[in-house]
Structure 1
Amino acid sequence: MSARWRRWPFARRLRVAAAAVALNIASILLGPGAHTALAAQKEAPLAMRCAEFAGAVLPPELIALPTAGAQIESASMVSATAPGNQQGGEYCRITGRIKALKASTPDIRFDVNLPRHWNGRALQIGGGGYNGVVVSGTGVMPFSPDRAPLAQGYATFGDDSGHVGDSSLAVFGLVDEAVTNFGYAHLKKTHDAALALIARAYGRPPQRMYFAGGSTGGREGYTVAQRFPDDYDGVIANSPALNFSGVRMIGVKLGQAEYATPGGFIPPLLLEQVYQRTLAVCDRLDGAADGIVSDVAACREHEAEIVASLRCAGRKPSRDDCLVEPQLATLMVMRDGLSLPYKLAWDVSGYRGYNVFQGTHLTGSLGLGHQAERLAVPRFFANGYLFAQGDGYMRYFVARDADFDSLRFDPQHPGKYRTQLIALSQTIGAMNTDLARYIARGGKLITLQGLADEVISPNQTIAYHQALVDRFGVDEVNGFMRLYMVPGFQHGSGAFIPSVDLLGALDKWVTRGASPETLIATDIAAATNGRSRPLCRYPLFPRYMGKGNVNLASSFVCAEP
């Protein structure tokens, strides 16, 4: 039997092993007679099986990482005509909690949704910011034009990563087990609990398990591929916060430039001037005057010219005309990134800078600060998203002191906080390039990132991709990964907001071997809704061919920078 097992293809062995796991799960949940119960389940209505979950307890042995088990709080059928159900079908909604080892640690709250008409696949969905809110898994995926995954027949699930609060709150950083949960453990714990429920409901485990998320959810996508490669067949990880400690520290450096340096604050009117100047110089470099800087490499060659035109240089400063040296220095902090004289986990020594002078708009709700005074507790709009998030990280995760003043923190010389910074980068970061096991089992990875992202540096994402190429070679990376860098796209907003079916592309790649190449995205930005552009595989970008409708993707070609 063992010789026959070894002759089977890896994918078949994996499915057989998964079926054995499902039977073991059923044995634990159902007790004696599990084989018979599983067979009978195929004939039992989903509503009957759904009701059985209410009040159920999942023992700790069903979850690979240490927990005190899970408690199902509710399980009920949601009819196709129920108010608020836009999924187009009936499904079983399950809510529960995964208990922590310590009573002082918050539970991991989770939702699982089981469609009546199941396609045999499951999708775990990531969160955002510092999480803190349960990802319901019932809605349409961000920037996807198609129906919600649940409506397509996917069993979906998500969680709150192990604490309660909005995405700006970092107070849970004071609790060790909560930090570990947020960093990576909640992903595995929720996965295992959901897998048990799916196998119990349908009598078999999913044939395919996918993960999808953006920002923090993008980091979570890379995390599951790195830490739990045997659990997933495919991952969509957009705008990933891979270098979590790095992006938090550069946020603190920005705050220091704006609020601890006299004259460093840049009012929104001047930030708008910076953006408009980059458009004036760089918009047409791709052949089309469409409000999008697509040829970022060519635009970078004009950076000195752009900066010189923005510098006051003897002119009398005004609120909307030119920038004085401290204001330019603030922008240079963001452009240059962060270089550290010590190494974080996985040999990381800094954070890559942003495309500040290549079409990134810094006046939005996730941009730089909108008021010249720093609040005692910085907030996104008032003091800038990066600074507010970085300040919370330093207070609660690093210093573990609510009164800590992040404006006095020196990332280059962290002193007594260095050990904690390095430990956190290991727990929360996703910069490990060892994806060998994920590649070997056939896992696929799709990443979409805005070239004008003002929160997650596009150059950090590109650098990680290059590190994979350096490690595995370009052919190996092309065999399992697709990277799409989107001109004009910021962190959920921008001059171009792409709508594209990445889940469909991932599923076709995994199940049919149809690797995605150039994709077509429809713009959902309010001012330009409906125009289309090709999504080009990195390092290509869309160049206008010089004729045809500038609002149609067919008028563009993917070109080398």
Structure 2
Amino acid sequence: MLNLSRPLRPAQIIAMLSIALPLWLPLQALAQSSGTDIAAAQVPVLAVVKPARACTDLATVALDDIGGAGSRITEAAVTSDGAAPACAVKGMLAPSIGFEVRLPTETWTQRYLQVGCGGLCGNIRLTPGAAEGCLPLQAGDFVVGSTDMGHQGRDASFGDDPQKRADFAHRAQHLTALTAKRLIAAFYGRPQAYAYFTGCSDGGREALVEAQRYPNDFNGIVAGAAAMNFQVQNALFHAWQVRANTGPDGRAILLAGRLQLLHAAVLQACDGLDGIADGLVSDPLACRFDPARIQCASESQDPNTCLTASEVAAARKLYDDPRDPATGERLTVGGPLPGSELAWAGVYVPVGPDQPVFGRFIALEALRNMVFTPNPPAGFVLDDLVFDRALFERLRPLHPLYDATNPDLSPFAAAGGKLILWHGLADPHISPVNTIAYLTALQAQMGKEHAAAFSRLYLFPGMYHCSGGVGPSQVDLLTPMLAWVEAGTPPGAVIARQPERNVASDFGAPGLWGPGGRPAGPSGADRPEAVPRAGAPISSTAILRTRPTYPYPVIATYDGGGDPNRAESFGPGASAATFTMPAWTGADFYRPYAPRER
């Protein structure tokens, strides 16, 4: 069913491993360390710098030349509610970009970290994801900053304002970076030595926007599950997923209680591709699975053991892309990957027959307010959509505004910037194919050797959207980035941990949770309150298993004899498939383009 890859030839496998093997950590070290500890040993120890002036003095720092007339500091006061005492500075950049910067008063080691936000933002978050166990972060060594992206709250009507669209698209993060650096220089009497950005979901898009539009803002950028293909992702992908699972009567075809059956069939077909059957599909591009293999053979067959013909048809559509009815051309770059089935619950497969799904909310939010010029008339609903090339072409004008798929990172690389991309392979919200396609385009644009000098991609089996899932998902990518930027040590394998108690509902589907155990999205939720949480945040500190993840395209393969729950029992191996950019309507989105300002 999933025609995204082709088998590798032996020569390709040998060449791939010859490049990847120098990057992986020795198994002896993996057996005795988390991977974070190894990277931490490579991070230089920078001197602590104390403030040169009082926190309250920052209230007078001028910002008009950064944000425009009316930009101002609204609050500057010492707080102790973080990792270490800090001067918390809040303010507004014109017309309405809220920001907060926290500057340690006792522990600053000359590093700045800016944190992206998810969904359509609307609030300020200072806690980064993918930094589990990062010692400098835990010690309060960073100045940390963030922004609400130019609007407050969850109302997407800000998309009616061209200026606020631009602030959300690119301006807010850049101006916040300039503001934070000015505050650093004012408070400590010297600039930061290094600046970093990390974000997931829309925060991942924001990270790539920074690399593509503002290559001198940050030395190191960590971009997770990036909504880089914003126009297609939010408008077409989620709208199609909802439509694909809707029957002629307007009701959902597949319900969440049926996903365990589908997932089990996928595991039976593809779980062992990495040498071990452990409940994870580690090589989904190589998975050849057709839901028809579990279609009921007759009406008398036990429905608990098979899917109906309509359920099979819906599942096929969910894996596949929407296509132009006249030409059969794909309208998206790829759908969810095999192994992600449990994560569909609540996103585009409802928990119950009358329950809402998050995908409908995402799609309508974007379609009504964000992705078209002009916006559609009041009363627009998903049933108004016709999935064809004409719809896609209506999304094209704002592609250069919102999207972050430009593969020409020459200025960022020339400035010495480093980029880590990462994605959960079981992500239901944003297909990992988007990120794989971006790295492929980056390599095609800049050459594989040049791209490998400043970029890495990590794909985590069983991880859902930004965190959680059925696989190891607690990971620290910030420490390897520090080692890469400051010591010139390229990252190799990173170790992901899986808590003993995972996020799961009674039927085995995940909760709709984002980084840090919070519901994803603005004000703690990327979804309407009516969508139920199918679980609870991870609270256990006991670790069920650890697993190495190697830079793409290398996958972790079982050694055949060790403890399958320990990272040292796995080594680098070749995928059974390689990604090729599919022919789809927006293939040119992954080529260089001039960004649009508004």
Give the Å deviation of 1:436.
0.8
Q: 1:112 pairs with 101, 108, 111, which one?
A: 101
Describe the SS at the equivalent of 1:395. helix
Give the Å deviation of 1:555.
0.3
Residue 130 (structure 1) aligns with:
120
Query: What percentage of residue pairs aligned between the two structures are identical?
Result: 30
The answer to whether the 8 A contact 2:48-2:108 is kept is no
5 Å-filtered alignment, 1:408-447, equals 408-414=384-390, 418-419=393-394, 421-447=395-421
Describe the SS at the equivalent of 2:259. helix
Q: Using a 3 Å threshold, how does the CA distance of structure 1 residues 431 and 44 change in structure 2: closer, same or farther?
A: closer
Residue 546 (structure 2) aligns with:
532
The answer to whether the 8 A contact 2:343-2:427 is kept is no
Q: Distance in 1 between matches of 2:173 and 2:304?
A: 47
Give the Å deviation of 1:258.
2.6
The answer to whether the 8 A contact 1:57-1:70 is kept is no
The answer to whether the 8 A contact 2:72-2:92 is kept is yes
Give the Å deviation of 1:51.
0.9
Q: 1:243 pairs with 209, 222, 229, which one?
A: 229
Residue 315 (structure 2) aligns with:
331
Q: 2:170 pairs with 184, 190, 193, which one?
A: 184
Describe the SS at the equivalent of 1:430. coil
Give the Å deviation of 1:434.
1.4
The answer to whether the 8 A contact 2:50-2:108 is kept is no
Residue 92 (structure 1) aligns with:
87
Give the Å deviation of 1:333.
2.8
Residue 243 (structure 2) aligns with:
256
Q: Distance in 2 between matches of 1:507 and 1:45?
A: 21
Q: 1:393 pairs with 345, 356, 366, which one?
A: 366
Q: Are positions 1:361 and 2:327 aligned together?
A: no
CA RMSD of aligned residues (A): 2.7
Q: 2:283 pairs with 261, 280, 295, which one?
A: 295
Q: 1:50 pairs with 39, 48, 55, which one?
A: 55
Post-superposition Cα deviations, 1:223-250, rounded to whole Å, max 9, x if no partner, equal 1000000111110001111111111211
5 Å-filtered alignment, 1:446-461, equals 446-461=420-435
Describe the SS at the equivalent of 2:54. helix
Q: Are positions 1:218 and 2:204 aligned together?
A: yes
Post-superposition Cα deviations, 1:504-527, rounded to whole Å, max 9, x if no partner, equal 111111111100011222223624
Residue 186 (structure 2) aligns with:
200
Give the Å deviation of 1:200.
0.7
Q: Distance in 1 between matches of 2:246 and 2:574?
A: 40
Q: Distance in 1 between matches of 2:330 and 2:218?
A: 30
Residue 520 (structure 1) aligns with:
495
5 Å-filtered alignment, 1:368-379, equals 368-373=349-354
Give the Å deviation of 1:48.
4.8
The answer to whether the 8 A contact 2:61-2:183 is kept is no
Q: Using a 3 Å threshold, how does the CA distance of structure 1 residues 130 and 359 change in structure 2: closer, same or farther?
A: closer
Post-superposition Cα deviations, 1:94-135, rounded to whole Å, max 9, x if no partner, equal 1111121xxxxxx11111000122111111100001111112
Q: Using a 3 Å threshold, how does the CA distance of structure 1 residues 150 and 77 change in structure 2: closer, same or farther?
A: farther
Q: Distance in 2 between matches of 1:285 and 1:508?
A: 32
Residue 451 (structure 2) aligns with:
477
Q: Distance in 1 between matches of 2:282 and 2:385?
A: 37
Residue 23 (structure 1) aligns with:
none
Give the Å deviation of 1:283.
2.4
Q: Using a 3 Å threshold, how does the CA distance of structure 1 residues 124 and 319 change in structure 2: closer, same or farther?
A: farther
Q: Distance in 2 between matches of 1:341 and 1:119?
A: 58
Between stretches 139-148 and 280-289, larger displacement belongs to 139-148
Q: Distance in 2 between matches of 1:172 and 1:157?
A: 23
Q: Distance in 2 between matches of 1:44 and 1:221?
A: 27
The answer to whether the 8 A contact 1:331-1:356 is kept is no
Q: Using a 3 Å threshold, how does the CA distance of structure 1 residues 153 and 45 change in structure 2: closer, same or farther?
A: closer
Q: Using a 3 Å threshold, how does the CA distance of structure 1 residues 279 and 229 change in structure 2: closer, same or farther?
A: same
Post-superposition Cα deviations, 1:261-292, rounded to whole Å, max 9, x if no partner, equal 44752111112211122123332332223221
Residue 383 (structure 2) aligns with:
407
Post-superposition Cα deviations, 1:14-71, rounded to whole Å, max 9, x if no partner, equal xxxxxxxxxxxxxxxxxxxxxxxxxxxx9997495211123x36342234xxx33422
The answer to whether the 8 A contact 1:531-1:551 is kept is yes
Between stretches 156-165 and 331-340, larger displacement belongs to 331-340
Residue 39 (structure 1) aligns with:
none
Q: Using a 3 Å threshold, how does the CA distance of structure 1 residues 412 and 322 change in structure 2: closer, same or farther?
A: same
Q: Using a 3 Å threshold, how does the CA distance of structure 1 residues 223 and 318 change in structure 2: closer, same or farther?
A: farther
Q: Distance in 1 between matches of 2:330 and 2:158?
A: 26
Q: Distance in 1 between matches of 2:217 and 2:114?
A: 11
The answer to whether the 8 A contact 1:255-1:407 is kept is no
Output the TM-score relative to the length of structure 2.
0.75
Question: Which blocks of at least 5 consecutive residues in structure 1 are unaligned?
Answer: 1-41, 80-84, 101-106, 343-347, 374-381
Q: Distance in 2 between matches of 1:198 and 1:357?
A: 46
Give the Å deviation of 1:308.
2.3
Give the Å deviation of 1:536.
1.2
The answer to whether the 8 A contact 1:368-1:385 is kept is no
Residue 25 (structure 1) aligns with:
none
Q: Distance in 1 between matches of 2:452 and 2:116?
A: 24
Residue 379 (structure 1) aligns with:
none
Q: Using a 3 Å threshold, how does the CA distance of structure 1 residues 471 and 316 change in structure 2: closer, same or farther?
A: farther
Q: Are positions 1:234 and 2:223 aligned together?
A: no
The structure with more radius of gyration: 1
Give the Å deviation of 1:544.
0.9
Q: Are positions 1:268 and 2:256 aligned together?
A: yes
The answer to whether the 8 A contact 1:149-1:156 is kept is no
Tell me which protein shows more helix as a share of its residues. Answer: 1
Q: Using a 3 Å threshold, how does the CA distance of structure 1 residues 312 and 436 change in structure 2: closer, same or farther?
A: same
Q: Distance in 1 between matches of 2:199 and 2:136?
A: 14
Give the Å deviation of 1:320.
4.2
Q: Distance in 1 between matches of 2:546 and 2:229?
A: 31
Describe the SS at the equivalent of 2:65. helix
Residue 516 (structure 2) aligns with:
none
Aligned residue identity for 2:245? E
Q: Which has the higher contact order (CA 8 A, sep 6+)?
A: 2
Residue 15 (structure 1) aligns with:
none
Describe the SS at the equivalent of 1:229. coil
Q: Distance in 2 between matches of 1:408 and 1:465?
A: 34
Q: Are positions 1:310 and 2:294 aligned together?
A: yes
Give the Å deviation of 1:392.
1.3
Give the Å deviation of 1:146.
2.8
Output the TM-score relative to the length of structure 1.
0.80
The answer to whether the 8 A contact 2:338-2:426 is kept is no
The answer to whether the 8 A contact 1:360-1:488 is kept is no
Give the Å deviation of 1:142.
4.1
Aligned residue identity for 2:360? F
Residue 164 (structure 1) aligns with:
152
